[in-house]
Amino acid sequence: MSASDFRQIAIRAESGKAERLFRAAVSAFCSLTRPSRREIAQLEDLTLPLFDNVSVESRRYVAAALSECEYAPAALVRRLCEEPVEIAAPLLIRSRALSDIDLIALIGRHGLPHARTIAGRKDLNPTISDLIRALEKPTLVRVRRPEEVAKAALETVEPALIDPGRQQAAGIAAENARRRLQSMMRPDATSAGSSVNPFVSLATFAKLRETALTGNAAFFQTALADALDIDFSTARSLTEASSYASLLAALRALDLSEDGAFLITVAVYPTEFPHPQAIRLFLDRYRLLHRDAALDKVRAWKAETLSRAVRGNGHSAANAGKHQASNSDNVAGDANLKAS
C-alpha cells in the first residue's frame, strides 16, 4: 500500500486515525538509523497533507521527536517551525535541518517569540545572535522638533568632512558586515562537489531576477544560458515548456534558495500560481528535488546540445562534399563546351 493510499484512508476515516497515522509514521522514521532520500520523501509525502487535520498535541509530539532526529525531513521541519513556539521550540533549539538562512527567515516572519527560542541554540551564528539582541533592545522612537532633526542631519555629515579616518573605519565595518552576510548565503563547501556551478553568485541571481522581471523572455533566456553554461535554444526550451518542471530543475542545479527560485518561476510562469496551494506544491517539489538529480539534467541538456552540434557538422560536411562534386561536374562540362 502506498503513502497515497494511507493518506486517503486517513482523510476518509475519523480524525483519530489521521492522528495515529501522523504519529506512527514519524515514530517509525525516527527509529531508522540512516534513512534514504526515498524514505525521507515518503514521510513528507505522507505527513504534509495530513498536517492541517491533526491536533496541536500531535504536532508538538512530532516536533519533539524530529528535534532529536539527525536526518529529519527539511520540508516537515520547516512547516512545524511556522507554528507557535509552544510547538516549534524543540526544533528551533536543536534541529540540524534548519540552516542559518532558515533561522533568519523565521525571525523575520515571527519576531521575538521565535527569536528568543532560537537564542538557545548551541553554536549559534554570531550574526544571528546580534540580530536577536537588536530585537530585544530596540532603539526608542520619539518625535523630534525640526531643529533637532536639522542638527542630527548636520552631525551625520560633518564627521565625514572633518575626520576622514572615521569615515574609513565606518566603511571597513560595513564591508565586513557585508562579507559575513555573503558567507552565510553560500552553501557549505562539501555540498559543492563536482557540479556545474559550486554556488550561484549574488550577481548571477540578481541578473536572473532582473531579467525575469522585465517580461522580455529573450533577456531571461540569455541570462539563464549564461548561468548554466548551455546554449540559448536549450534555455529557451526550458522557459517555453507547458509546465515549469524543467525550469525548476535548472534553478535547483544553480542551488537557488526557495524564495529566489519561486520569485523567478512566478515571473516566468505567472498563471501557474493562482492560489496558495499551487505555491505550496512548488515549494514541496523544489525541496524534494535533489540537487544531484538536477545537475544530471543539466549535463543531459549539454550532451544533447553537443550531439546536435556533431550531427549538424556532419550534415554540413556532407552538403559541402556534394556541393564540391557538383562544382567539379560543372567545370568539366564547361571545359567540354569550350573544347568543342
| Alpha-carbon gap, residue 220 to 159, rounded angstroms | 44
Handedness of CA 208, 210, 213, 215 (dihedral sign): negative
Which one-letter DSSP state was computed for residue 83? Answer: S
- The answer to whether position 193 is within a domain reads no
The structural domain count of the chain equals: 2
Say how many C-beta atoms besides its own lie within 10 A of residue 107's C-beta. Answer: 22
Tell me if 283 is assigned to some domain.
yes
For residue 237, give its domain range: 202-293
Domain boundary among 98, 122, 156: 98
> What pLDDT does residue 141 have?
38
| End-of-domain residue from the set 98, 124, 159 | 98
Contact indicator for 291, 249 with CB cutoff of 8 Å: no
pLDDT per residue over 132-191, tens digit each? Answer: 888 777 543 344 444 443 444 444 434 444 455 555 554 555 555 445 544 544 444 333
28 falls within a domain: yes
CA dist 16 and 23 (Å) reads: 11
Residue 298: inside a domain: no
Tell me if 152 sits within 8 A of 220, measured CB to CB.
no
Domain membership flag for residue 145: no
Three-state DSSP state, 33: coil
pLDDT number for residue 188: 42
153 lies in a domain?
A: no
* Of the residues 98, 133, 167, the one at which a domain ends: 98
Instruction: Establish if 26 belongs to a structural domain.
Output: yes
130 falls within a domain: no
| Residue located via cell numbers 515548456 | 241
3-state helix, strand, coil in the chain (%, to 5): 75, 0, 25
Run of H or E residues at 1: none
pTM for the structure as a whole: 0.42
Confidence of residue 86 (pLDDT cuts 50, 70, 90): very high
Tell me: the pLDDT tens digits for 40-66?
989 999 999 899 889 999 999 999 999
State how far Cα 106 lies from the chain centre.
16
CB 48 within 8 A of CB 18: no
